[in-house]
A = this chain, B = another copy of it.
């Protein structure tokens, strides 16, 4: 057994701040999206990813990885978005098993309508409060962790 490595004060402060802030921000974002468009945050992220993707479409698994939800959660959400007319399913030409989630025109318009208000929140609570240097440090820090977790 190795020694227990507790967190010192600096480490604990960083971890606690990160944890609380990510949850608080998540809640605030959910609230804003729900009020503005009846969307959940995962749903919004799905629309964003699809809008950025070539052909406005992505494979289910790839999309799930991007949005960071389970495959079953994605299946559920795509079904919801399909009901709302914002996304469609198409069969993948190269792989018979595959399913493509495709952004509809209504989906694109919805995103264009919702994005500004969403970004206002992201700015108001996070981005606009940080200096350029802080933004860059955050990116490198987060990216290290992300890479480690994507393996």
Hey, which bits of chain A sit against chain B, CB under 8 A? 4-7, 10-11, 13-15, 17-28, 45, 68, 115-116, 119-120, 122-127, 129-130, 132-146, 148-150
Contacts and interface: CB of A to CB of B under 8 A. Distances in A.
Contacts of A28: 149
A28 to B, nearest CB: 6
A48 to B, nearest CB: 10
A129 B144 contact: yes
Given A116-B4, A129-B144, A134-B141, A122 B24 contact: no
* Chain A residues touching B, majority SS: helix
A108 to B, nearest CB: 16
Given A20-B146, A25-B145, A137-B137, A123 B5 contact: yes
A116 to B, nearest CB: 5
Given A18-B138, A124-B148, A133-B137, 5 more contacts: A5-B120, A7-B123, A17-B142, A23-B68, A138-B141
B136 A10 contact: yes
A5 to B, nearest CB: 6
Contacts of A19: 45
